[in-house]
Amino acid sequence: MWQALSVESWKARGRSDLSKVFPTVNDIIEQVRNEGDTAVLRLTARFDKVELTDLRVNRAEIDEAYSKVDQQLLDALNFARTRIEAYHRKQRPDDVTLFKDGESTLGWKYSPLSSMGIYIPGGKASYPSTALMCAIPAKVAGVRNVIACTPPPVHPLTLVALDLAGVDTIFKCGGAQAIAAMGLGTQTVPKVQKIVGPGNVYVTAAKVLLRQDVEMDFPAGPSEIAVLADRTAKPENAAADILAQAEHGPDSACALVTDDRDLVERVGRIIVESAEKSERRELIRSSLKSSGYIIVKDMAEGIAVCNELAPEHLSIQTMDPLSILPSIDTAGAIFLGDNSPVACGDYTTGTDHVLPTAGNAAVHSGLDVLHFMKRSSVQMLDKRTLEELAPATVRLAETEGLRAHAESVRVRLKK
């Protein structure tokens, strides 16, 4: 259960999972494209074993969900909501930024997207925290219409979290069919401009296949963690963070990257013993089949390995984690030192836990306010600047054969 890993096996895991399900997911997408609600209802009965007549969650269902959530949990959700909103408000750019370029004005303008779809996983657990993490940045950005899809039966906590986060409409559907419904539109589910949110391999595959129909955030599939640790690391902390990600599901992947062989043995021993005592031991056992350790000669090699892994979560448990931080280029979220469990980032630090997986942290950032906005450049030229820019503009336009471009400059100079 505790084994040696290679960078190649870690990276191959993410690629092979998607390719296996593409045919199935493509068939689901085409069913939704051709039949709309009828297909979504049929697929929901097939995959979720729930017979529905209406995909939309009504207000009475949301009110009933509140009655099933105790006050302490409601307080915890509100505490998390406040911190998530505060963190993301710091990310929101000014609507308009202008600066002088001589007598001219240049700049840019940010505008929110008009409609967003968020996907909240269900199934083996409820994820109210993901509802907050997806919806709050959208509302901070100023998106007017935010819809959510989540598999039935919807857990009361998830419904409450979506309502607290300000989601406008909630739909009871999950999996690839939910992504297709939001991306293509059905009789009940409106087509959105962009979809965000994590999911299983089928959800991730649907997001990849639907990119020509709707904008997506990034592939955010099964959970991952890499722990970069030296001889000063506490084995119980490293093991605890690995176990925390392993309990997400059977496709989770965890790696200990270290130059200390003794630490490998101690962490492995704790993981094996703790896994057997866990209520989710079957899930942990499954995820540990694709997890393990990578031994490096020193921390420089360890940093290089972590950058190549590009993990969703990177926990740096070394003597001086801040000195390592500047060298880390590819990680969805970075946790430094003994007192920074990934679990706090999952719920209450305020940072977003919707993060790229399967190596996609090499080119994608985790979810933030800018995922819900677009940027336009702004320019207002004065006459002197126009005269200064004109010769090069005309020459370049005519070189490219775009004479009307050149004339659009000349006509202004003639005035």
Confidence class of residue 14 from pLDDT cuts 50, 70 and 90?
low
What CATH number does the domain located at 222-353 have? Answer: 3.40.50.1980
User: Of the residues 312, 353, 364, 371, which is catalytic?
Assistant: 312
User: Of the residues 88, 155, 248, 313, which is catalytic?
Assistant: 313
**Would you say the pTM of this structure is higher than 0.85?**
yes
User: Which amino acid is located at 63 in the chain?
Assistant: D
**If you search the block for the tokens 């299983």, which residue do you land on?**
200
Q: What are phi and psi of 163, to 5 degrees?
A: -70, -45
Q: Three-class SS of residue 328?
A: coil
For the residues 94-99, what does the mean pLDDT come to? 96
Q: Residue 197: exposed, middle, or buried by beta-carbon count in 10 A (0-12, 13-18, 19+)?
A: buried
357 in Cβ contact with 221 (< 8 Å): yes
**If you search the block for the tokens 């909501």, which residue do you land on?**
81
**Predicted confidence (pLDDT) at residue 402 exceeds the cutoff of 70:** yes
Q: How confident is the model over 141-153, as pLDDT tens digits?
A: 999 999 999 999 9
Q: How confident is the model over 274-321, as pLDDT tens digits?
A: 988 888 888 888 888 889 999 999 999 999 999 999 999 999 999 999
Q: Where are the domains of the chain?
A: 14-216, 222-353, 384-414
Q: Which residues pair with 380 in a beta bridge?
A: 105
What CATH number does the domain located at 14-216 have? Answer: 3.40.50.1980
Residue 144 CA to residue 96 CA, distance in Å, equals: 19
Give catalytic status of residue 312 as yes or no.
Answer: yes
Q: How confident is the model over 176-205, as pLDDT tens digits?
A: 999 999 999 999 999 999 999 988 889 989
Query: Would you state the pLDDT for residue 124?
Result: 61
DSSP code of 381?
Answer: -
Residue 275 CA to residue 246 CA, distance in Å, equals: 9
Query: Would you state the pLDDT for residue 371?
Result: 96
**Predicted confidence (pLDDT) at residue 377 exceeds the cutoff of 80:** yes
**Predicted confidence (pLDDT) at residue 16 exceeds the cutoff of 80:** no
For the residues 163-185, what does the mean pLDDT come to? 98
Confidence class of residue 252 from pLDDT cuts 50, 70 and 90?
confident
| Same fold yes or no, 14-216 and 222-353 | yes
72 in Cβ contact with 157 (< 8 Å): no
For the residues 165-175, what does the mean pLDDT come to? 97
The order of strands in the sheet holding 104-112 is 96-101, 104-112, 373-380
Across the chain, what does the average pLDDT equal?
94
Instruction: Give the number of other CB atoms < 10 A from CB of residue 415.
Output: 5
Query: Would you state the pLDDT for residue 415?
Result: 65
Decide which of 124 and 402 is more confident. 402
Query: Would you state the pLDDT for residue 125?
Result: 66
Cα–Cα nearest to 238, from 260, 261, 262, 271: 271
Give catalytic status of residue 313 as yes or no.
Answer: yes
Q: Give the whole-number percent of the chain exceeding pLDDT 70.
A: 98
Please give the radius of gyration of the chain, using alpha carbons only, rounded to the nearest integer: 25
**Predicted confidence (pLDDT) at residue 387 exceeds the cutoff of 80:** yes
